[in-house]
Structure 1
Amino acid sequence: MSPVSANAKPSLFSPLNLQARSLAWKAAAVAIGTVVLALASYIEVPLVPVPVNMQTLAVTLIGALYGWRLGGLTVVAWLIEAAMGLPVLSGGAAGAHHFVGPTAGYLFAFPLVAAMTGFLAEKGWNGTRPLLAFVSMLAGNALCLALGGAWLAVVIGFDAALQAGVLPFVLGGALKSALAAALLLAFSRATPNRAA
Structure 2
Amino acid sequence: MTSTTFVPLRLAGRPLAVKVAAVFLGSLFLAASSWIEVPMFPVPMTMQTFAVTLVGALYGWRLGLATVLAWLGEAALGAPVLAGGAGGLAHFAGPTAGYLAAFPIAAALVGWLAERGWTAEGRLVRNVVAMLAGNAFILVFGTIVLAGMIGAEKAYTFGFAPFVLGGILKAVLATATIEAVRRAKISL
> TM-score normalised to the size of structure 1?
0.91
Query: 1:164 is matched with which residue?
Result: 158
In the alignment, is the contact (CA less than 8 A) between 2:5 and 2:114 conserved in 1? Answer: no
* 1:87 partner SS: coil
The C-alpha deviation readout for 1:69-102, integer Å capped at 9, x for no partner, is 1001100000000000000000101100110101
The C-alpha deviation readout for 1:127-170, integer Å capped at 9, x for no partner, is 52221110000011100011000000000000000000000000
In the alignment, is the contact (CA less than 8 A) between 2:4 and 2:116 conserved in 1? Answer: no
1:36 aligns with 2:29: yes
Sequence identity percentage:
56
* 2:172 partner SS: helix
> TM-score normalised to the size of structure 2?
0.95
- Pick closer, same or farther for the CA change 1:136–1:12 going to 2, 3 Å: closer
Task: State how 1:117-196 maps to structure 2 within 5 Å.
Answer: 117-128=110-121, 129-191=123-185
* 1:118 partner SS: helix
Matches of 1:114 and 1:181, distance apart in 2: 14
**Count of aligned residue pairs for this structure pair:** 185
Unpaired runs of 5+ residues, structure 2, are none
1:102 aligns with 2:95: yes
Matches of 2:7 and 2:139, distance apart in 1: 26
1:81 aligns with 2:86: no
Query: 1:3 is matched with which residue?
Result: none
How far did 1:15 drift?
A: 2.2
Return the match for 1:51 from 37, 44, 55: 44
Report the structure number with the largest CA radius of gyration: 1
* 1:19 partner SS: coil
- Pick closer, same or farther for the CA change 1:116–1:137 going to 2, 3 Å: same
In the alignment, is the contact (CA less than 8 A) between 1:127 and 1:184 conserved in 2? Answer: no
Greater CA deviation, 72-81 or 181-190? Answer: 181-190
Matches of 1:144 and 1:16, distance apart in 2: 24
Return the match for 2:7 from 14, 29, 34: 14
Matches of 1:111 and 1:14, distance apart in 2: 17
Return the match for 1:92 from 85, 89, 111: 85
1:24 aligns with 2:24: no
* 1:14 partner SS: coil
In the alignment, is the contact (CA less than 8 A) between 1:57 and 1:177 conserved in 2? Answer: yes
